[in-house]
């Protein structure tokens, strides 16, 4: 990558972000936000952070983008046109000055720190012991497995929190359907969805496997799976399960549960989240597969929203 490319990319990122924030039209703003996510993905690629690039494009742009578009659509249906009340000019100017000053402060703090790859060496030294090649997976699933474990519970907790918002009489029904057409799963969209879902499954499985050695991993794979589920739901090829569906609940907790059980089993060997020598890769891959499944289902249901009363559906 050349310097000119980097500079143009950064200018585009800042410009797109400004558009995502300042466009009056909410839909246009969301579209610019999605473009921003993809440009940020390019930025991460330019920084040789392929794992982050995949996560940013899939989650930051993809899932978040779908979520925002869907929420906007549902708000419009409720008669909320997403127009922000205009602030008085002097308040806007005040906010602008304050934020510019804040950014200047943070910017000078950033400039005072020299970029450095400080932990890369010690991570590289420890990687052979894990039997996997991708150092980011190593950090996520070994050195900082505790962070990742807690994060898996944040994701699960967020779905429970979404569910807790179910209106009166809606529990334990299904979330509102995403289907574009009410033809009950015929037509092009449905066929596309039916075709895409198995493809998404295969690709997710590949991403987990590749993630041990190449860029990829449970989060990227889970997002691909979620994407497949959401597209299939939009096409009407799958319908959301009821919130009290047994299989659903097992699928949701599988990843966090496997992670936690392996972590607790480590106590017998020495410490919480300790992987016995020789089994590191096997345990990491087991955690990643189960996590990917749970993350996929959890993200898809988060996008779907809380259950609704049957007569509201559609």
What is the CB neighbour count within 10 angstroms for residue 247? 9
CB of 281 to another protein, least distance (A): 15
Q: CA 252, CA 244: separation in Å to the nearest integer?
A: 12
Residues 6+ apart with CB under 8 A from 294: 152, 156, 222, 251, 252, 253, 254, 255, 256
Peptide bond into 172 cis (omega under 30): yes
Q: CA 275, CA 108: separation in Å to the nearest integer?
A: 42
Taking the least distance from each CB to another protein, the nearer of 193 and 307 is 307
Integer CA distances (angstroms), 57 to 19, 65, 246, 299, 305, in order: 19, 10, 32, 15, 22
Q: What is the footprint of another protein within residues 90-109 (CB under 8 A)? A: 91-92, 95-96, 98-100, 102-103, 105-109
Q: What is the DSSP letter of 117?
A: -
Q: What is the footprint of another protein within residues 134-163 (CB under 8 A)? A: 135-136, 138-140, 142-151, 153-163
- Burial string for 249-273 (b: 16+ CB within 10 Å, else e) reads eebbbbbbebbbebbeebeeeeeeb
Task: Please tell me whether residue 311 binds another protein under the rule CB under 8 A.
Answer: no
CB of 119 to another protein, least distance (A): 4
Backbone angles phi, psi at 55, to 5 degrees: -65, -40
Report the residue from 118, 182, 278, 311 that binds another protein according to the rule CB under 8 A.
118
Report the residue from 1, 28, 87, 180 that binds another protein according to the rule CB under 8 A.
87
Q: Which of 202, 192, 191, 254 is nearest to 224 (CA)?
A: 202
What 3-state class would DSSP assign to 313? coil
Give the total of residues touching another protein (CB under 8 A): 136
Taking the least distance from each CB to another protein, the nearer of 118 and 182 is 118
- Which among 48-56, 183-191, 197-205, 231-239 is the span making contact with another protein, rule CB under 8 A? 48-56
Taking the least distance from each CB to another protein, the nearer of 203 and 299 is 299
Report the residue from 131, 228, 229, 302 that binds another protein according to the rule CB under 8 A.
302
Taking the least distance from each CB to another protein, the nearer of 202 and 261 is 261
Q: Which of 233, 228, 227 is nearest to 190 (CA)?
A: 233
- The beta-strand segments (E) located in 5-121 are none
CB of 185 to another protein, least distance (A): 25
Q: CA 32, CA 37: separation in Å to the nearest integer?
A: 9
- Which among 37-45, 180-188, 193-201, 229-237 is the span making contact with another protein, rule CB under 8 A? 37-45
Q: What is the footprint of another protein within residues 177-216 (CB under 8 A)? A: none
Q: What is the footprint of another protein within residues 246-285 (CB under 8 A)? A: 249-250, 252-253, 256-257, 260, 263-264, 266-267, 270-275
- Which among 110-118, 177-185, 193-201, 204-212 is the span making contact with another protein, rule CB under 8 A? 110-118
Taking the least distance from each CB to another protein, the nearer of 26 and 189 is 26
CB of 232 to another protein, least distance (A): 19
Report the residue from 165, 180, 202, 282 that binds another protein according to the rule CB under 8 A.
165
CB of 195 to another protein, least distance (A): 26
């Amino acid at each position: 990558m050349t310097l000119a490319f980097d500079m143009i990319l950064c200018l585009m990122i800042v410009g797109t972000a400004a558009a995502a924030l300042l466009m009056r039209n909410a839909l246009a703003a969301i579209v610019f936000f999605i473009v921003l996510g993809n440009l940020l993905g390019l930025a991460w690629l330019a920084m040789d952070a392929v794992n982050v690039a995949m996560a940013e494009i899939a989650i930051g742009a993809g899932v978040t983008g779908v979520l925002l578009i869907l929420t906007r659509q549902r708000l419009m249906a409720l008669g909320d046109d997403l127009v922000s009340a205009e602030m008085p000019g002097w308040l806007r100017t005040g906010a602008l000055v304050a934020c510019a000053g804040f950014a200047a402060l943070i910017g000078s703090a950033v400039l005072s720190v020299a970029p450095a790859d400080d932990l890369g060496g010690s991570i590289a030294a420890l990687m052979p012991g894990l039997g996997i090649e991708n150092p980011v997976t190593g950090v996520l699933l070994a050195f900082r497995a505790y962070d990742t474990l807690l994060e898996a519970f944040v994701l699960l907790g967020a779905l429970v929190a979404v569910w807790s918002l179910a209106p009166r009489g809606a529990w334990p029904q299904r979330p509102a359907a995403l289907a574009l057409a009410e033809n009950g799963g015929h037509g092009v969209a449905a066929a596309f969805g039916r075709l895409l879902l198995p493809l998404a499954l295969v690709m997710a499985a590949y991403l987990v496997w590749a993630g041990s050695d190449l860029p990829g991993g449970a989060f990227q794979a889970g997002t691909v799976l979620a994407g497949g589920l959401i597209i299939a739901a939009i096409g009407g090829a799958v319908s959301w399960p009821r919130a009290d569906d047994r299989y659903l609940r097992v699928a949701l907790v599988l990843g966090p549960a496997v992670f936690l059980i392996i972590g607790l089993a480590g106590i017998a060997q020495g410490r919480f989240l300790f992987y016995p020598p020789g089994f590191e890769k096997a345990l990491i891959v087991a955690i990643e597969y189960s996590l990917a499944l749970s993350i996929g289902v959890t993200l898809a249901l988060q996008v779907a929203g809380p259950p609704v009363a049957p007569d509201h559906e559609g």
